[in-house]
Amino acid sequence: MANSKILKTFDYSAGEMPENIVILADGTICATLLVAGTVWLSSREQERVTPEQGDAIVVGLASDADHRLYAAVRSAADAVAGIWRRDAPHRWSRFATAETQAGLNGITFAEDGTLFAADSVNGEILCCSPGDDTLRLWLVDERLTPTSPDDAVSSTGVNGLKVWDGALWATNTAQGSVLRISIDQGHPGEVTQVYAGIPADDFAFDTSGTLYLAIHPRDTVLRITPHGDTTVLATAADGLDGPSAIAVTNDGLLVTSLGMLGSRHTPNIVHLTLDVADPALPRPRMPH
């Protein structure tokens, strides 16, 4: 188990449910606040992503090689749904459009600048190549699909995405699987189920290849080494309440908790102190 400290708490009644997290090169911690429609930044509180909130929810978060911030937005409005980029403080523009029925979730960049986006509702992976401005279908596979529309877990198929060691890795929350999808000249190759029985939300790698998973329905953070050794690093007793995403720091992990499942409704960001290798991508450091 790791030492834990609640770094930041949020207001559940105001829709401040931290869903995803990124640490920028200057140490700024950034988190999407799902229903509030904003991104929280440790350097300047909250920024609204879209001009009109409406039904928009802000889900996945990623940064590119130039340390610009991108957020995935679900909406029934054609002018809102898609990937939004932070161009300057309090100024966001739509980077890539998406179909309004797309259940956007986790997003990540490949080294060549291709952006991948999970569609958790339809069980698909979308992509936007450098120079494009529209998300297009990249992969359809039954191993990406949800299992049932009955609840928040079973209705969430492919969820977190990360590019690591030449492949796109993905979690399927409903099916409880961790997948490795090879990338062949920009196209999807073989899909391999690496782990089963793990209903993870999002996740992170460090440079040793160790995998850290936020297990939303179990209120746990799980570590899996490259040799397959597993360790539970934190539980609800450490402040976790529906953990949804992880960022690797120089001295441990930052974990977002949505606070949606169960009855506690205590959304937060928890800092877990433990020995880790460097973050895989990006390479952040905790602010002093």
Report, in angstroms and rounded to the nearest whole number, the Rg of the chain calculated over CA atoms.
17
Taking the C-alpha atoms of residue 239 and residue 257, their distance in angstroms, rounded to an integer, is: 9
**Torsion from C-alpha of 170, 157, 81, 284, nearest 10 degrees:** -30
**256 exposed, middle or buried (CB, 10 Å; 0-12, 13-18, 19+)?**
buried
pTM over 0.85: yes
Length in residues, the chain? 288
Tell me: the pLDDT tens digits for 153-164? 999 999 999 999
Taking the C-alpha atoms of residue 214 and residue 106, their distance in angstroms, rounded to an integer, is: 13
Query: For residue 78, which phi and psi values (nearest 5 degrees)?
Result: -55, -35
Taking the C-alpha atoms of residue 160 and residue 245, their distance in angstroms, rounded to an integer, is: 8
Closest among 15, 22, 27, 44 to 256, alpha carbons compared: 22
* 145 Cβ contact list (under 8 Å, min separation 6): 122, 123, 157, 158, 172, 174, 175
Q: Kindly report the CATH class assigned to 3-273.
A: mainly beta
Domain coordinates of the chain in residue numbers? 3-273
pLDDT at 260: 78
pLDDT at 92: 96
pLDDT at 262: 65
Amino acid sitting at position 60: G
Contact 39, 13 (CB under 8 A): no
CA 74 → CA 79, 80, 90, 180, 238, distances in Å?
Answer: 11, 8, 19, 25, 31
pLDDT at 285: 37
Q: Are strands 115-119 and 252-257 parallel, antiparallel or unpaired?
A: unpaired
Q: Mean pLDDT, 10 residues at a time, over the chain (288 residues)? A: 90 94 92 94 90 84 93 92 94 92 93 95 95 95 95 94 95 98 95 97 95 96 96 96 94 92 86 84 40
Taking the C-alpha atoms of residue 262 and residue 242, their distance in angstroms, rounded to an integer, is: 8
